[in-house]
Amino acid sequence: MSEQIFKDLGPAHAALGAQFRRAALIDDALGILSWDQATIMPEGSAEGRAEQIAALSVMRHELLVDPRVRENLDAVRDLRGSQAGDSWAAGNLREMERAYLYAAAVPGDLVEATARANAVCEIQWRSARAENDFASLVPSLQAVIDLVGETASARADALSLDPYDALLDEFEAGTRVAQLEPLFGELARDLPGFVEEVLERQASRPSPVLPSGPFPVSTQRELAVELMGVLGFDFEAGRLDISHHPFCGGAAGDVRITTRYNEENFTESLMGVLHETGHALYEAGLPEHWRYQPVGQALGMAIHESQSLLVEMQVSRSRPFLEFALPRMQAAFDGQGAAWDVENFYRLYTRVERGSIRVDADEVTYPLHVVLRYRLERALLSGDLPLADLPGAWNDGMRDLLGIVPPDDRQGCLQDVHWPSGAFGYFPTYTLGAMAAAQLYAAAQGALPGLEDDIAAGNLAPLIGWLRENVHGKGASLTASDLLSAATGEALNPRVFLDHLQRRYLGDA
C-alpha cells in the first residue's frame, strides 16, 4: 500500500501522502454529490447542493495550499532524482507538485465562487435546454465564463502560460494552442472534403435500415447491462443510471455511468453506454495500491477519452463485435428481418452523416464538432465573441464545418453540459483521445494475435487485460507521451487515426 511506501521514504513523504489522501477522498465525495445532482436529486435541492459542493471544493483547496505541503515538497526535492529507486514515488511527487502549483495559483474565494456558479448554472442549463431557451441561461453562463477567465488568468500568471493554455493543461498536461492550431486547422481544412467523399461512397451502396421501435427503456437497460458485463464492468462496484447528458463519475471503487434513452432508436443509448463503460473500465483498472494518491489517478482526459473511444469506436462498431452482439440485440427486442443483419448494422454503426448532435456523431464528423467548440470557447473567453451572439456564431460554424444548421438552440449551443459546468479546455481532449484510441488499438492488435476472433466470440478479456497492463494500471506514473510511446512504440501520431478512417470508410471492406 502507498501508506507503507511513504513511511519507508520518510516523514515528509508520509505527511504529503496523508494530505493528498484526504484531498482525494474529498474528490470522491464531490464525485458522488455530482452524480446525485445529475441523476436523482430533486430540483428544489439545487441551492443547497451548490453550497455543499462549494464548501467541499474550498476544503480540498485548503488542503492543497496548506503551507506544510510546500514545506514538505521542498524537503524532498533533493531526493527526487532517485526516490529510492521507486519510479512510482517519483511520479507521485511530480503529480503532487503539479496539483500544488495549480491550487496555489487560485485564491480560495475564487475556488468557492467558481464551484457555486458551476453547480447553479448546470441546473439552469437543464431547464434552458429542455425549453430551448438560450436567453434564460445567459446570466448564469456569463458568470461561469467570467470566473473561468479569472481562474485561467491566475494560473497563467503562476505558470507562465497563456490563459487558454492554462485551461488546456488542467485537462491534459502539456497540451498547448500551438500544438492544436495546426492540427485542428488541418482537420477543418481536409475533413469536410473527406466527409463528402465518404457520403458519395455511401450513396453508391445500400442504405442501412434502422430497426423499427418502439424499444422499451427497461429492455434497453437489460441489454446494456449484459454487454457491460461482457466488457468486464463490475456491478458490485458500479452503477448504470439515467441523466440528461451521459457521463462517467462516482468515486474510487464506486464507478457510476449514465445514459439517456430513445425508445425509437436503441442504438444511440447502447453506444453511449459502451462509450461510458470504456471510461469506467479505466477508472476501475487504476492501480489500487496507489489509490487516493495523485499517481494512482487517471492520466488526463485525452487518455481517458482514448479508453471510451477505443471501446465504442474501435471495438463496438466493428464487424467482429457485431457478430457477437447482434444475436443478443435480436433476442432482446425480438428482432426480425433484414434490418437485423450484421452487414446492415455495420453500415448503420459506421454511417457518416452531417448531424447537429456531437454525442451522436460518427467518428468522421466528430472532430469537426470539436473544432467548432474549441474555436468558440476561445472566442468567448477572450471576449471576441459576446455570449449573446453564441447561437449565431454556433450556427455559422456548423454551416462552415459540417454543411448544416441546427434546427434550434437545444440541438445547437445548448446541447452540451461542459460550459455550464465550467469545463472550458476539455473539448480538444476528445479528438486527441480519438487519435490515441486508434493508436492503442492498432498496438493491441499487433500484440494479441487472433484479437478479432476473440471479440467475435465475446471474449474481451485479452484486450481489457492488455489495456490494464499498458494503460489503466499505469495510472499517472508516466506522462501521456511516455505512456503512448511505451504502449505503441511512438508518441501520439495523428496519421494512425487518419489511416483508420481511410480504411474503414473508403477502403474496399
Q: What is the mean pLDDT of residues 48-53?
A: 94
pLDDT at 167: 97
* Contacting residues for 396 by C-beta, under 8 A, at least 6 apart: none
Q: What is the mean pLDDT of residues 499-506?
A: 95
Mean pLDDT computed over every residue of the chain: 94
Position 312 in a domain? no
% of the chain residues with pLDDT over 90: 90
The total number of structural domains that make up the chain: 1
Q: Grid coordinates standing for 34?
A: 455530482
pLDDT at 508: 57
Q: What is the pTM of this model?
A: 0.91
Position 185 in a domain? no
**Band of pLDDT at residue 90, cut at 50, 70 and 90:** confident
Distance separating the N- and C-terminal Cα atoms of the chain: 49
- Residue 275 predicted with pLDDT over 70: yes
- Residue 2 predicted with pLDDT over 90: no
The amino acid at 154: A
- Residue 211 predicted with pLDDT over 80: yes
Q: What is the mean pLDDT of residues 493-506?
A: 94
pLDDT at 17: 93
Q: What is the mean pLDDT of residues 109-118?
A: 95
- Residue 7 predicted with pLDDT over 90: no
- Residue 23 predicted with pLDDT over 80: yes
**Band of pLDDT at residue 76, cut at 50, 70 and 90:** confident
Cα–Cα distance, 415 to 176 (Å, whole number): 26
CA–CA–CA angle 254, 261, 236 (5° rounding): 20
Q: What is the mean pLDDT of residues 407-429?
A: 96
Question: Using one digit for the tens of pLDDT, what is the confidence trace for 303-359?
Answer: 999 999 999 999 999 999 999 999 999 999 999 998 999 999 999 999 999 999 998
On the 0-12 / 13-18 / 19+ scale of CB atoms within 10 A, 411 is middle
pLDDT at 391: 98
What domain range includes position 135? 2-174
Cα–Cα distance, 242 to 347 (Å, whole number): 28
3-state secondary structure of 248: strand
Question: Residue 36's closest CA among 297, 301, 258, 292?
Answer: 258
DSSP assignments along 104-173, one per residue: HTS-HHHHHHHHHHHHHHHHHHHHHHHHT-HHHHHHHHHHHHHHHHHHHHHHHHHHT--HHHHHHHHHST
pLDDT at 3: 64
- Residue 81 predicted with pLDDT over 70: no
Position 351 in a domain? no
Q: What is the mean pLDDT of residues 127-151?
A: 97
Q: Which residues pair with 242 in a beta bridge?
A: 259
DSSP assignments along 318-383, one per residue: SHHHHHHHHHHHHHHHT--SGGGSHHHHHHHHT-----S-GGG--TTTHHHHHHHHHHHHHHHHHT
pLDDT at 78: 62
pLDDT at 89: 87
- Residue 260 predicted with pLDDT over 70: yes
The distance from CA 124 to its chain's CA centroid, rounded to whole angstroms, is 22
- Residue 82 predicted with pLDDT over 90: no
276 noted as active-site residue: yes
Position 223 in a domain? no
Q: Which of 95, 170, 276, 283 is catalytic?
A: 276
Cα–Cα distance, 290 to 90 (Å, whole number): 13
For 88, which DSSP code? Answer: H
